[in-house]
Structure formats: structure tokens, C-alpha cells
Chains A and B, each alone.
Chain A
């Protein structure tokens, strides 16, 4: 049942939602109104806490029990009012009038049920076809979303599928009932960039062919620009700006939107920096790392890293770029000496890392450190900010008073106020935690800091600030970075050299500027093309 041309697929009027428990009350959404026209894709863009996920769940009537919808709010899907509707009505609508594509495909399907059964459940629930026809319909749907061998695949379980394929299955489930509206909640944030592009292309195709409307929830402005017809920007529960995508990006009308646009990393390489001529501080020579899989006599060996070589100069940044499974994290661990290469050498400051004695290892620890994707996981849950930052200094045997002074100095350097010292490390926000992790990492003035996806879990505006901080620190202290990321846009703001990895092998390597503006390999080109907004010229004047 698709929407007719005049009636919008989704009409939101004066929507207000608050979460209330015994302890506190918090407004998540306040006075938001917008439409999703028939056959259009509207992107709701916002950072965490903007209320976008709340709106998505409200549209399908699946808000948590603590949510209270304000008086006078209205959500109408294909003309049917959702707010205040009785549960049987909502149940009938879910899956047949409005479909939902959730985030994180790896966890959104029941692990114990076959894929075919999970798709078929929609058909059976809404009596869309007779029992005997279900299998046929399911296979047709699987083919529709681009899954080969549908008959075999329908009998398989979720753990036998890749992330991208699972997301396609979820899309199949969402459209099985031929809804007027599909609500897609961050449908691609858990996927690799190339897969992301494919899935979004599929959604666009479905919109065009079936006339379905899509409400696309995302934190990624560039993604919205590339795939949506209209954009709605939310900030702290309020609607900040809305309009057709094209006009939006050319002439944003509010400060917040401008900040958001500026903060989104663009795929524009920094101009090549002079220097980097001296002896490299880290050399990776034809390194291979094999991992043994399986047990009970049936073991396979697979190479996480195979024949990788590169060099990192003093005060420079080398970026390791690739999708999941490329071997980036393995290389990070090898560079830090946490693991030994099966073959080849890792040389730090002229010494083979695998051959270090006790004193040598201690020195290595002091000269290197790591900033990882989830700083919270790297803090002892019982420790305060001060204890966390001081740990490397303590272990190096520094004096108490010297440590206290240095910790304050570090806090200042990373832009945190002294009030943070006493707080529990886990009480801070994501961005603040990452600053603490950085402060800890640079405490002993290391030569090398490995940054493993340090901003992937952060909001766009926070991400921009952390990257600026990293750049600043490098300018001030001359530290070298081994920067690991799947996000080419982020990398382009920091890297001097880029090494593109795929399945443990180097695909292409060279100066950042060259790799980004004149890639030689097809895979590199594909990665660049897949970056949302990557092809758009940086017409938006982002002050650098």
C-alpha cells in the first residue's frame, strides 16, 4: 500500500517526547514538525542526544516505557495517526504500513531462527499471502534485495551471513509488507564504506521502483547529502533547519548547521609538509602475521598481515587505511611490540623489536603508546582521571610531586580543566575520555603514538576537535603518529603518507596528496568514491 501523491507518507506535527523515571525527567524531542512526501527520501541528521533515534522509534510506536509523548503531538503515517493509537492498530501498522530497518545488522536478527522464517514472519503476520506461497515470496524478496541463491540462503542462519547481506535481509523484512514508509535507523553505520554505498544504492532503487518513502536517520551529513532529497537537522531535541538537500549545502542558514558542515571531514588532503627526511623511527619490513584458527586437529592458518612494508619518519603521520579485515589493528599491535611477526621485522629506532631485552622493552614502552577507539574500555573502571593519566609516569619511577605537576600540565595541553582530575574516568563524555587517553599517551613524551580509529565512536563536531588536538600536539612535540582508520576523509586531515590495505596486503602507498588526488589502483579509487560526499568539490568554505 503506497502513499498516494497528495498525502505525505509521514507527517510529524509539534512532536514532543520526554523520558521520565522516578529519578529524573529529560526532554528528548521538542516541537518538531516535518513531512516526508510520497516517494521521497528525507534524512534526519543529528549528533548523539539530538533525538533522532527517539523520533524513529516513535514513528513505529516502539518507544521505551519511560517515554511520554507530549499533548498535541502528531505523527501520521499515510494519514493514519500513530500517537495515542491503541496497540492493536499499531501492531497492524508495523510491517505493513511502516517498515523499520534497524542499526547493527549483526545483532538485529534472531540467531536461532532461519533467515527465510524471519522474513516469512512478516508475510504471515499480516496475511499478505497464503501459507503455501510464503516460501516463493521470500525468495522473490531475497532476490529483490540482491541476495544470490535465495532458496539456499533462506534456509541459513544469521551467523552464516556477512554484515552487508544481513542489512539487505533487514531491508527485505522492512519492505515485505509493501509499506508506505520505511524508517531506516542508521542503517549503514556498522558497515564498511564500500558495502555502505551498495546498501544505500539498494534503498534508492527501491524508492524509485516501488514509490516507497524513506525516513533516513543518520549522524553523517555527507551521507545525507549524497542520498537524501530533503534534510532535517536536529540539535538537542529541536529542529534547527530543514530543506531540500541541494539548497541546504549551498547556503546553510543557521550557525549550528554551518558548524556541522565545517566539522564533517572532507576528503581534501593537506598540502604536503616539508621534512621527514631523517632516519625513520619505525620501519616495518616485509612483515607477515599468521593466525591459527580452529582446534581439535582441524586447524587453518590465515594471514592477518602478509608482506607489508612501510616507514614512518620522525614527526610525521602515516595512515593505515582499509576496511574491516584489512589487518590494520594487527599492524598496530605489531608496531607496538605487543605481538611478534611470523615473518619479517619491525624496527623501532633502529632496533628489532622482537630482539629486545628487558631493559629494551621498558624503553620501548616509554617511547610508545596507544590511543584506541574506545577509551572507556582502556580505563580501570575504578580509577580517577588523575590516576589514569599518571600511570605511565608512576611506572617510569617519577617522583610524586613531579607527577602531579606533569599531570596538570597534560590536562592543560589536551584542553581539559583541572576539575576533571577527581572524577571517575568513566564519568566523562566520549570526547573528554579520548582527551584523557591522549594525555596518558603523551605523558612520557613518546616518539610514537599509535592511533587506532580514535574518532570513529565520536560525534562529528567532537571528532573535528580531537583531530585538531592531535595535529596541534604533533606540531608542538614532534611526535609521530601511526594513524589507523577506515575513514579516508578523517585520514586526509592528518596524514603525510597513506598506506592502503586490503586483506592484509598493501594495495597502494605513497604521499597522502598523491594517493588521494591521483590514485593508481582500482580499490583505492573505489574507497575514495565510496566516501559520502567524497566526490563533491570542497565548495563549502570550511575554515581549516
Chain B
């Protein structure tokens, strides 16, 4: 059931991007020809090129043609770079996956950790001050943070390399950059989840059993508060991907993000469409995983064996 919905969403992403890009005046052919230097072109050659690429024909015709190709994993040819879109994306996906996974790990670790610590002693002045920090995390533009970090750690202090790839620790700065807003959001959701869990009646029961405050916090409050965190990890995965666009650009990393940016700048429509569909697929995959995690955590959601 979920799987069917997932497929539907990816198909939908394809359709939406197709429709949106269809509105673009001019098409890949004009882009390709322009890329060649903008010299005068033989209209016959142009028409033949169009026919080759299937760019003549009605909306429906082109739509079905492209859809058919996609189902065969043929994502078209990049108008600007000439290579197969599938190939380009194939090269770009692994570094982006590495980046987002790394960032996700950092965010969850620090976001949840922060929330657990701050909520263990809710009345301490430190905790009260710290509670507004996540709001800051959400307020800083990623591109600015990236540049500041780059300046500080790569130019001034020289710990990390300037280009975000090559060595394994080159991934750190780019990952930290996009982890900040994502982690801030996780911290806020976790804080809220913990606050709600702390107010539940079963926490009082646990204390009345003689279990200590810290033990109650870790063993009783925390598991209950994880549910909203899990769901928000999946739903807001888009923030990580969006951050990847900027992070990869600034740190000169190869990946889906920088690929898309180049594609948009060059009006390379097949490439834009390809990246959108693949991105949607990644997002859907992550959500399938988080949805599957739910019954594992919450016994009420499991299908009752009758």
C-alpha cells in the first residue's frame, strides 16, 4: 500500500516537473544550439534534431514519450553537457547520499542530545537560555554559514580543506553546514516531544514506583518522545537536500545539488527534470524507511494479530 503511494508520488514529481518545464519558452534544442556558440543555424538541421529528440509533437505525445523513456531508466540527454542524464546523475548521487547521511547522523545526535540534556533540568537558568538556541539555528541562511565556516576553518585556521572533497574529512564542513538548520529543527521537535511526554500521567506512576528522576527521563520519557522526531526526520528530509544544493556549490563538491544548480543556470531542461525526479525518489525512499520504523517503536501501531 505504502509502496503504491510512493510510486504514485514519484510519478507525480515527474509530471509536475514536466508540466512546469514545458512552460519554458524555447527548449533544449535552442539551448544546445546556443551552447555551440550561437552561430546561425540551418533550420532544417534544427528540425531534424528536434525530431530526433522527440521534441516535436504535441504535449501528450512528448509526455508519454518521456515517461516511457523514464520507465526504461533512460532519462534523456543533457542539452548542455551532452552526456546521458542518467549517467550524470549516477555520478552525482553517491556523494550527495554520503553528505546527507553524514549530516543526518550529526543532526540527530546533537539535536536529540541537546534536547535530552536541556530537558533533564528544565528549571536551571542555563536550560532556559539554551532553549532559544534552536530558533537561531533555523534563522541562519545556509549559504552564509557555509561561507563563514569556510573562512574560519579553511582559510584562517586551516583545519579543513578548501574544496569539500578528496579526503574523508573533507565532508565534515559541508555536512555541518547543512546539519545546522536540520539539527535545530530536530532539537525543537525533540524538546516539544519531551515536554509533552514529561507531562503524561504514566511518568508520575514511574516516579511513584521509586525510579529515580534521571532513570525516568531516559527510560520512560525519551522513548515516548521519539515518535514525533522519527516522523519529522522523514518529512523534513527535503531541508537536507535543499541545503545540499548550496553546500555543494560553495564547497565545490560534486553532487546532485551542484548538478541541479548548473542545470538551472544553463536552462538544461532534461537535466533539471532528471534531478527533480531522482530527488523525489530519494525523499520517498527515506519516508518509506521512517514509516516502517513506526510499528517497531510503537506497539499500538502494529497490526494486531487476531
Contact = CB atoms under 8 A, between A and B. Distances in A.
B200 A107 contact: yes
Secondary structure at chain A's binding surface: helix, strand, loop or mixed? loop
B144 interface: no
A87 B215 CA distance: 14
A108 B201 contact: yes
A422 B212 CA distance: 48
B202 A111 contact: yes
Interface string A210-252: 0000000000000000000000000000000000000000000
B302 to A, nearest CB: 9
Contact of B208 (A62, A103, A104, A112): A62
A125 B213 CA distance: 13
A108 B210 contact: no
Contacts of B212: 91
A173 B207 CA distance: 12
A109 B205 contact: yes
B223 A100 contact: no
B155 to A, nearest CB: 49
A122 B205 CA distance: 11
A121 B220 CA distance: 11
A102 B205 contact: yes
Interface residues of A, number: 33
B224 A173 contact: no
A46 interface: no
A107 B298 CA distance: 15
A107 B201 contact: yes
Nearest to B215: A125
A107 B300 contact: no
A104 B298 CA distance: 21
B210 to A, nearest CB: 4
Secondary structure at chain B's binding surface: helix, strand, loop or mixed? helix
Contacts of A93: 210
Given A112-B299, A296-B1, A94 B205 contact: no
Given A121-B211, A125-B210, A108 B204 contact: yes
A272 to B, nearest CB: 45
A321 B205 CA distance: 33
Nearest to B211: A125
B305 to A, nearest CB: 11
A94 B208 contact: yes
A127 to B, nearest CB: 11
A112 B209 contact: no
B286 interface: no
Given A157-B300, A159-B299, A109 B202 contact: yes
B202 A107 contact: yes
A437 B208 CA distance: 39
Contacts of B208: 60, 62, 94-95, 99-100, 102
A177 B211 CA distance: 13
B209 A125 contact: yes
B25 to A, nearest CB: 46
Interface in B264-306: 297-300, 304
Interface string B243-267: 0000000000000000000000000
Contacts of A99: 208
A99 B202 CA distance: 15
Nearest to A111: B300
B206 interface: yes
A108 B123 contact: no
Nearest to A177: B210
Contact of A65 (B123, B211, B297): B123
A159 B123 CA distance: 33
Contacts of B300: 111, 157, 159
A102 B204 contact: yes
B127 to A, nearest CB: 13
Interface string A63-94: 00100000000000000000000010001111
Contacts of B299: 111-112, 157, 159
A450 B245 CA distance: 61
Indicate the member of B123, B201, B202 with the most A CB atoms within 10 Å: B202
A344 to B, nearest CB: 30
A190 to B, nearest CB: 11
A355 interface: no
A296 B224 CA distance: 28
Contacts of A60: 208
B201 A112 contact: no
A96 B123 CA distance: 29
Given A102-B204, A159-B299, A159-B300, A111 B224 contact: yes
10 closest cross-chain pairs (CB), A and B? A95-B210, A100-B208, A94-B210, A107-B201, A95-B209, A157-B299, A110-B202, A108-B201, A122-B209, A108-B205
26 contacts: A60-B208, A62-B207, A91-B211, A94-B210, A96-B210, A99-B208, A102-B201, A102-B205, A102-B208, A107-B200, A107-B202, A108-B202, A110-B202, A110-B205, A111-B224, A111-B298, A112-B223, A112-B224, A112-B297, A112-B299, A121-B206, A121-B209, A122-B210, A125-B210, A126-B210, A157-B299
Interface of B: 1, 123, 200-202, 204-213, 220, 223-224, 297-300, 304
Given A62-B207, A87-B213, A110-B206, 9 more contacts: A94-B208, A99-B208, A102-B201, A107-B200, A111-B299, A112-B223, A121-B209, A159-B299, A177-B210
